[in-house]
Structure 1
Amino acid sequence: MEEMVLRTIEHYGYFALFGTLVMGLIGLPVPDEFLLTFSGFLVSMGRMNWIVAVLVASAGSAIGMTVSFWIGHRFGLPLLENYGRKIHMTPERVMRVELWFTRFGRFAVPIGYFIPGVRHLTAYFTGLSKWSYRTFLLYASLGALAWSTAFISIGVLVGHRWREVTLYLHKYMLAALVLLVLGAGVWWIVHRRSKIKAERE
């Protein structure tokens, strides 16, 4: 499946990138991160444009998430319980994502892009929770842009090592994200304290 998707991206470029991401974010078994980093590799080879690739990938991701949102909004949990196994959405995975969604709320949508097995379900649970579509689209679009930019840029930076690096990132994605969030929190606290100290002097 992976090789077929990558060959499709290589031959049909942006159209294939858009279409495969739509299918992947709906929940079909598409190797999302691999096709993004591979697209970045094609950018490094001069076969794609970075800005166009990021915009196309972001649009495809957001539209795929939108489809999942409306499925959840319209059909609810019974559809997922009856047909989820056919697209590898086991009851255990559904329960894990439901807990994730409850804990992180709106931020589960943009953060969920970076967690394999979570991003495919966050939009569904958002629709199930009856969010307004405007609110959902804002968070989904921000997440799609951040996710697409990150992985396409990684592909550009690592070049021929894109597959090896993506495997490593996929394995340790959650740990890396936790460290990133903690690091950002520490930076914000230090920056805030420095600013307050400067204002007092």
Structure 2
Amino acid sequence: MTDWLVGLMDSLGAPGAGLAIALENLFPPLPSEVILPLSGFTAARGQMDLLDVLVCTTLGSVIGALALYWVGALLGRERTLAIAAKLPLVKPSDIEKTEAWFLKHGRKTVFFGRMIPLFRSLISIPAGVERMPLMTFTLLTTAGSLIWNTIFVMAGYLLGDNWELVETYVGVGTNMVIALVALAVVVFVVVRLAERRKGRHASRR
């Protein structure tokens, strides 16, 4: 991964870092926690301009987010509900509640979601499904991405040869997010199965 990123930045410079971040939005296995600090470290060595790195990586974040926004927009509300109806244990009402929540808190979700591992990319899809105004989505995504990117690029820039420490510490936070998501899924499944059992017992009476 690191060798590929180094080669990309050697060939394209700061735009190469931006391209990597755009791809990270579409393919989460490409972690921004590696791309951004490495870009900062490369800038610290004088191989790229720091401002160019910040601009290009933020632009890459916005481009990747817009691509997923349009995936959500093309999917649309009706198709989302139709897919949900076919999923085991999921009710259309679950999607409707999520939709109502997003309509109320969507702006904060898009802005802060750009700074949460795992959700950074995924948050663009419901924004597209709900057709959040494109200008609003773009501005919120740009602001959130700029903050996230600046923190990690500057960390790599200041840490120098120790830039990999960023990935180590952020990895702990990422694992915590994954664990919380997994726990939420388990709780959802247990509750929904319990509801089904109650429904069956009630129908037998």
**Same fold, judged at TM 0.5 (above):** yes
Offset from partner CA, 1:7-28 (integer Å, 9 cap, x none): 3224432232121211111345
How much does 1:106 deviate? 1.1
Aligned length: 160
- C-alpha contact (below 8 Å) 1:5/1:30 kept by paired residues: no
Offset from partner CA, 1:89-132 (integer Å, 9 cap, x none): xx9xxx9xx69x74852122222222221011111110111111
Distance 2:128 2:41 in 1: 35
Q: Does 1:41 align with 2:41?
A: yes
Q: Which amino acid is 2:44 matched to?
A: S
Distance 1:113 1:3, change over 3 A: farther
Q: What residue is the counterpart of 1:186 in the other structure?
A: none
1:34-113 paired onto structure 2 within 5 Å = 34-76=34-76, 102=102, 104-113=105-114
Q: Give 3-state SS (helix, strand or coil) of 2:13's partner.
A: helix
- C-alpha contact (below 8 Å) 2:14/2:49 kept by paired residues: no
Offset from partner CA, 1:168-194 (integer Å, 9 cap, x none): 12322698xxxxxxxxxxxxxxxxxxx
Q: What residue is the counterpart of 2:18 in the other structure?
A: 18
Distance 1:57 1:138, change over 3 A: same
Q: Give 3-state SS (helix, strand or coil) of 1:36's partner.
A: helix
Q: Which amino acid is 1:147 matched to?
A: W
- C-alpha contact (below 8 Å) 1:62/1:137 kept by paired residues: yes
- C-alpha contact (below 8 Å) 2:18/2:53 kept by paired residues: no
For normalisation by structure 2, the TM-score amounts to 0.68
- RMSD between aligned residues: 2.8
Distance 1:170 1:110, change over 3 A: farther
Distance 1:5 1:156 in 2: 16
Task: Specify every segment of 5 or more residues in structure 2 that has no aligned partner in the other structure, as ranges.
Answer: 84-89, 177-205
Q: Give 3-state SS (helix, strand or coil) of 1:30's partner.
A: coil
Q: Which amino acid is 1:140 matched to?
A: T
- C-alpha contact (below 8 Å) 1:26/1:120 kept by paired residues: yes
Q: Which amino acid is 2:123 matched to?
A: T
Q: Which amino acid is 1:127 matched to?
A: G
Distance 2:171 2:112 in 1: 14
Q: What residue is the counterpart of 1:161 in the other structure?
A: 162
For normalisation by structure 1, the TM-score amounts to 0.69
Q: What residue is the counterpart of 2:4 in the other structure?
A: 4
Distance 2:105 2:52 in 1: 31
Bigger Rg over Cα: 2
Q: Which amino acid is 2:138 matched to?
A: L
Offset from partner CA, 1:61-93 (integer Å, 9 cap, x none): 1111111111101123758x98xxxxxxxx9xx
Identity of aligned residues (%): 26
Distance 1:76 1:10 in 2: 40
Q: Which amino acid is 2:172 matched to?
A: K
